[in-house]
Amino acid sequence: MCGIETLAVFVFRDPAGCGFDLDSIRLDAEGGASPAYDGRDIGSGMTFCAEDLSGEGTTAGVSVRCFNVEMQFRGHTGYELPERQIPDLELLRERFGAERSK
């Protein structure tokens, strides 16, 4: 480590409001991960197995790894969703089926 510290979470949005969240993670030897901010006041104790990280998406025409659909839904439970997140989950339900949201 070179002693440089930066934010671990970024939210990118275009003028039309389309965008994505980029969260930094620490990978482990088994292919799982924990948030780079783990141990601070948010996200403490969160871990993800390799299967959680098996999703694949496309951003600006580039293939990217991401949470799988099940993890996307689990990550949006246990709190009141902000209005802006509801359409994203509806799109996931439409594309991958409502049964995957339970």
Question: Greater confidence, 46 or 58?
Answer: 58
Is the predicted pLDDT of residue 5 greater than 60, yes or no?
Answer: no
Decide: pTM greater than 0.85.
no
The 10s digit of each residue's pLDDT in 51-95 is 999 999 888 889 988 889 999 888 888 888 888 888 888 988 998
Share of the chain above pLDDT 90, in %: 15
* Backbone phi and psi for residue 47, each to the nearest 5 degrees, phi listed first: -140, 155
pLDDT of residue 94: 92
pLDDT of residue 19: 78
In the chain, what are the domain boundaries?
1-66, 68-102
CA-to-CA dists, residue 100 to 2, 3, 52, 70, angstroms: 42, 42, 14, 6
